[in-house]
Amino acid sequence: MERRKAIRLSFAAVAAGGAGALVLTKAFKPEIKPDAEPEKLEYQETESAWTYLPLDPGVTAELAYAEYPNGSCMYGIFKSVIVQLAEKIGEPFSSFPIHMMKYGHGGVNGHGTICGALNGAAALIGLLVEGRVNQDAMAAMAN
């Protein structure tokens, strides 16, 4: 087959494939209609069950160091606080899935992107402190 015919056949195949893909995506696209009209939701302040009680920093540090081998820095920091609050308060701390914080090992799943100690502290701040302004101010002090 000569070169020009091969090029024309290639272009024709690409054009036909593109046209076919376009027809298939348009022909079988479902029309999605919302069940209801959108409405503006107002934020309502609620009383949080995630209250905080002061903890002994020495005990917290010892617990964090002890938990480091089980999940790294983020896990150790987070668990050291949650376990103490579970002992003092009970629920909702008693049933918190602490193992989820193991993703923080090695700077978020081993990628070295953020310090686990800071990430764990920021997670605790997000859980225990209400209001973005207060959270931001406390996280800034942790850095």
Q: What is the CA radius of gyration of the chain?
A: 27
What's the pLDDT score for residue 102? 92
Question: For residue 28, how far is the Cα from the chain centroid?
Answer: 34
Domains of the chain, residue spans: 57-142
The pTM of the full predicted model, rounded to 2 decimals, is 0.64
Spell out the per-residue pLDDT of the chain, length 143, in tens: 687 787 777 777 777 777 777 776 776 666 777 777 777 767 666 566 788 899 999 999 999 999 999 999 999 999 999 999 999 999 999 999 999 999 888 888 888 888 888 899 999 998 998 888 888 888 887 66
Burial label, 106 (beta-carbon count in 10 A; 0-12, 13-18, 19+): middle
pLDDT at 100: 92
